Amino acid sequence: MGRDDGGGGNRSYGRKKFKRSRAHFADRITADGRDGWPVEAGRYRLVVSRACPWASRALVSRRLLGLEDALSLAVTDPLQDDRSWRFTLDPDGRDPVLGIRYLSEAYDRRETDYPGGVSVPAVVDVESGALVTNDYQQITLDLATEWAALHREGAPDLYPRARRDEIDALAEDVFQDVNNGVYRAGFATDQEEYEAACTALFRRLELLAGRLERQRYLVGDTITEADIRLFTTLVRFDAVYHGHFKCNRWKLTENRVLWAYARDLYQTPGFGDTVDFDHIKRHYYQVHTGINPSGIVPLGPDLSGWTAPHHRAELGGRPFGDGTPPGPVRAGEEVPAPGRP
Ligand SMILES: N[C@@H](CCC(=O)N[C@@H](CS)C(=O)NCC(=O)O)C(=O)O
């Protein structure tokens, strides 16, 4: 692979402090099309790696909102090569809709020689083959709001207007200390930086566990954007962050509240059925050669506990509010699922 830049939007490795770059293409796909990209069924393709926590937010949202028909999906190989994300899982190594071998080709069609990396999630305009946005913080918010006309019947409100300030504030803390905190710990290049990130991470997780002790979801009594953002880090915790990123004060399975909360979400249609632990493990351990030079992928942990009863329904809560769970995963998008019935 020859990559040791963190593969996580990490623009400074070596001796410099870990710093996540900002998304470079921040056009928005909106109902009124004000950036030139109107919401339209079949017009765009969502490109993800199932290994990537930022891309996985969009995978969960798309399922919960029932946008599978409106927004098609391309899944990259979990292992980037020196030209980054590639479609080697598809016949002839080409995405069948975009006809490209590398995601970088869609970036190039949008702008040549731009300074950023090629990152997922990416939304591509199918007709022109050009990248529209790789703004992972905004994509899911827009799927929840701007794409409403194309939501399935019974779709939940993942970003309820009355709760947005609370969701945004929580998401910011979770981003700093948890979503990005694990990367800051994992790619720290000195002891002090590592300890600061690791300490803040576990302090935040303990605060979140306190909040979730008596309430089923993070905000209100339904699943929201805030839960999606926490879930995508928690589901990777023991498989990669605990070992590979040295976030090892405790394992997720050792925190009674967070482990039950994560299992509850995992077992909710739209969450666990998007998770591919094989992609997750191979990506992190094989791509980050700077912190795992041997590229050896550990055999553990035992994943069978993800389907164990969680008893969180006893806390009440209405997962989908007045809506309903999504239907089955569409053909061709199933993931192998150790431990899932
Ligand atoms: N686009 C964002 C976040 C998304 C992100 O970091 N995705 C990762 C995979 S988990 C990726 O594609 N990294 C490759 C790269 O940025 O060069 C960023 O640049 O920070």
Query: How, if at all, do strands 44-48 and 122-125 pair?
Result: antiparallel
> What's the average model confidence in pLDDT over 113-142?
94
Atom of ligand 1 nearest to the CA of 9: 16
> What's the average model confidence in pLDDT over 315-341?
89
Atom of ligand 1 nearest to the CA of 54: 4
Tell me the C-alpha distance between 94 and 101, whole Å: 4
Q: Where are the domains of the chain?
A: 23-150, 163-315
Cross-sheet strand order for the sheet of 72-75:
72-75, 44-48, 122-125, 131-133
> What's the average model confidence in pLDDT over 132-146?
97
The residue whose CB lies within 8 Å of the most ligand 1 atoms, and thus the one to mutate among 119, 233, 235, is: 119
> What's the average model confidence in pLDDT over 111-131?
93
C-beta 259 within 6 A of ligand 1? no
Task: Please tell me the predicted confidence (pLDDT) of residue 14.
Answer: 40
59, with CB counted inside 10 A (0-12, 13-18, 19+), is: buried
The CATH number fitting domain 163-315, selected from 3.50.50.60, 3.40.50.150, 1.20.1050.10, 1.20.140.10: 1.20.1050.10
Between 102 and 340, the higher pLDDT residue: 102
Coil, helix or strand at residue 79: coil
| Per-residue confidence band for 341, with pLDDT thresholds at 50, 70 and 90 | very low
Tell me the C-alpha distance between 4 and 253, whole Å: 29
Q: Known catalytic residue: 198?
A: no
How does pLDDT run across 193-226, given as a tens digit for each residue?
Answer: 999 999 999 999 999 999 999 999 999 999 999 9
Ligand 1 geometric centre to CA of 120 (Å): 6
C-beta 21 within 6 A of ligand 1? yes
C-beta 78 within 6 A of ligand 1? no
> What's the average model confidence in pLDDT over 159-186?
98
Give CA separation, 174 vs 32, 177, 182, 203, in Å: 31, 5, 11, 11
| Per-residue confidence band for 17, with pLDDT thresholds at 50, 70 and 90 | confident
Q: Please answer whether residues 106 and 47 qualify as being in contact, where contact means their C-beta atoms are separated by less than 8 angstroms.
A: yes
Ligand 1 geometric centre to CA of 15 (Å): 20
C-beta 187 within 6 A of ligand 1? no
| Per-residue confidence band for 13, with pLDDT thresholds at 50, 70 and 90 | very low
Coil, helix or strand at residue 234: helix
The residue whose CB lies within 8 Å of the most ligand 1 atoms, and thus the one to mutate among 21, 54, 280, is: 54
Ligand 1 geometric centre to CA of 321 (Å): 32
Task: Please tell me the predicted confidence (pLDDT) of residue 4.
Answer: 37
Domain 23-150 class? alpha beta
How does pLDDT run across 240-271, given as a tens digit for each residue?
Answer: 999 999 999 999 999 999 999 999 999 999 99
Task: Please tell me the predicted confidence (pLDDT) of residue 323.
Answer: 98
Rounded percentage of the chain residues whose pLDDT exceeds 70: 93
Catalytic residue among 44, 52, 241, 261: 52
Tell me the C-alpha distance between 60 and 66, whole Å: 10
Q: Known catalytic residue: 52?
A: yes
Query: Cβ neighbours of residue 147 under 8 Å, at least 6 residues apart?
Result: 29, 31, 39, 65, 67, 70, 71
Mean pLDDT of all residues in the chain? 93
The residue whose CB lies within 8 Å of the most ligand 1 atoms, and thus the one to mutate among 27, 120, 175, is: 120
Ligand 1 geometric centre to CA of 119 (Å): 4
Task: Please tell me the predicted confidence (pLDDT) of residue 16.
Answer: 61
Task: Please tell me the predicted confidence (pLDDT) of residue 58.
Answer: 98
Residue 314 pLDDT greater than 60, yes or no: yes
Catalytic residue among 102, 107, 159, 183: 183
- Which pair of tokens denotes residue 313? 């329904």
| Per-residue confidence band for 20, with pLDDT thresholds at 50, 70 and 90 | confident
By alpha-carbon position, which residue is closest to atom 16 of ligand 1?
9
C-beta 117 within 6 A of ligand 1? yes
Q: How many CB atoms lie within 10 A of CB 221?
A: 13
The reply, when asked if residue 147 is annotated as ligand binding, is no
Task: Please tell me the predicted confidence (pLDDT) of residue 162.
Answer: 98
By alpha-carbon position, which residue is closest to atom 10 of ligand 1?
52
Task: Please tell me the predicted confidence (pLDDT) of residue 21.
Answer: 66
